[in-house]
Amino acid sequence: MNLVIDAGNSFVKTAVFQNNRLLEKQIFRKEDFLKNFSNLQKKFPEIKKSILSSVSSIDAELENIVHESYSLLRLDDKIRLPFKNQYATPETLGKDRIALVAAAVNTYPGKNVLIIDAGTCITYDLKTKEEVYLGGAISPGMEMRFQSLHKFTANLPLVKPKPEAKLIGDSTESSILSGIINGIKMELKGTIETYNTKFEDLTIIFTGGDSQILSIPLKNSIFANSNFLLEGLNFILEFNKTQ
């Protein structure tokens, strides 16, 4: 049984897997880690191994507690991966991007896959049918674009995102919505079309908190479940068990 830990800036996600089956998932604030970790130990005494992914610093004390309880694998640029990584600067590659590519390898082996994660940033990651990770792109996320227009201008309001926007805005609010929502959708469509010309039978995976708002109808597009990243981390842990 595996314990997967994904530590963000403010929140921690934990997931317990039996082989590839998710048994339980929890999300809580980082300061509540010790209490929740203790409860997990009591509920799942069969846990033997764990993996930790942290996009920010996590207290050394917390990491030591996990390490003292279980065999701990820390996700970093030295870890063995279930794909060939051709990123020129692997030490700078986001851990969330690594986990999503691993999930794509596990779920769609032998296929060309473009993973689009629409969150704080919009990331594009390409893995080939030969299980080679080539890299991708990073652009500002939806909320970041709304915030930047509001913060870096004197008179533009902070507009609440909506899934649909007019092509031609007839007010300041609708013009901002048109520029950001339609702009991102055009970015997505143009990027996908370009990738499709280079990689045959390309599968498109949408994930992230804004994926539903920014969805566009496309051939071979799939909405990943909300556990896709956690499944990728578990797959990396399982892969390292056999090495």
**Active site amino acids:** 96
9 has binding-site annotation: yes
Q: Can you tell me the distance from the alpha carbon of 148 to that of 176, in angstroms, rounded to the nearest whole number?
A: 11
162 has binding-site annotation: no
10 has binding-site annotation: yes
95 has binding-site annotation: yes
210 has binding-site annotation: no
Sheet with 203-207: list strands edge to edge.
84-85, 132-140, 121-127, 113-118, 203-207, 221-223
97 has binding-site annotation: yes
7 has binding-site annotation: yes
13 has binding-site annotation: yes
Q: Which amino acids are annotated as binding site for ATP, given as ranges?
A: 6-13, 120
Q: Which amino acids are annotated as binding site, given as ranges?
A: 6-13, 87, 94-97, 117, 120, 172
Q: Which amino acids are annotated as binding site for K(+), given as ranges?
A: 117
